Homo-oligomer: A and B are copies of this chain.
């Protein structure tokens, strides 16, 4: 099935939407955070008067397992250019995610541009490592998408990271499925955690919160992605992401706050 199909929702009442966490989107049994966000954000988009998420934040309160979910949405303010919408995803009454998003129209248009920096330097797609799903690592959900990892990064090379721990690579959907702004929410949480590059003595770094800023609808083709972590501190770490499309345009920025589990 397509990613669009596996994130689909249908209206079951005013501001109430039914969705489904499909099988094999999991990481050690728990559904991937970007996938859950995409389902919730799709319900919110249906409630907004505007098609594209411009900024969406999700707080993860319980793990998601395969099965039906319900999303409640409410539009706080619908404006001419933007709408702000809340969402809550539950599974059998148990809250999984709290969401807050502002929606607009991200059709590419001429705007003032000033980019300090450049798209991340990622090895060519053919020179990158293809992740194929297994029962352990990489997790099953990588079978839903296509991921390629830069072999120079510590995660792949096994050599300790020098400087800022970084994971770079390429993302696209399978079978040429177009990547809309909702599927972009999957791209920002699809790569292995930067913590794995740092050889931190933890098995997992659960996401507390994920915010994505979307700048424009991506052009067709591979997305060039980079994730890095500068601060492991206070029991938390941030993971900052950038996603660029095949035309060299920045399409999304993301930041998540993840928890360092207590020993």
Q: Which residues of A contact B (CB under 8 A)?
A: 54-55, 57, 59, 61-62, 76-77, 79, 82, 84, 86, 88, 95, 98-102, 106, 108-109, 111-117, 163-165, 198, 200-202, 208-209, 211, 213, 215-216, 229-236, 238, 249-250, 253, 255, 257, 260
Contacts and interface: CB of A to CB of B under 8 A. Distances in A.
B76 A95 contact: yes
A215 B236 contact: yes
B61 A84 contact: yes
A233 B98 CA distance: 28
A134 B236 CA distance: 40
Given A57-B57, A76-B98, A233 B111 contact: yes
Given A233-B215, A250-B234, A55 B201 contact: no
Instruction: Report the copy number of this chain in the oligomer.
Output: 2
A41 to B, nearest CB: 14
Contact of A198 (B98, B99, B114, B208): B114
B76 A62 contact: no
A141 B106 CA distance: 34
Contacts of A229: 116
Contacts of A100: 57, 59, 86, 98-100
Given A59-B55, A100-B59, A213-B257, A109 B76 contact: no
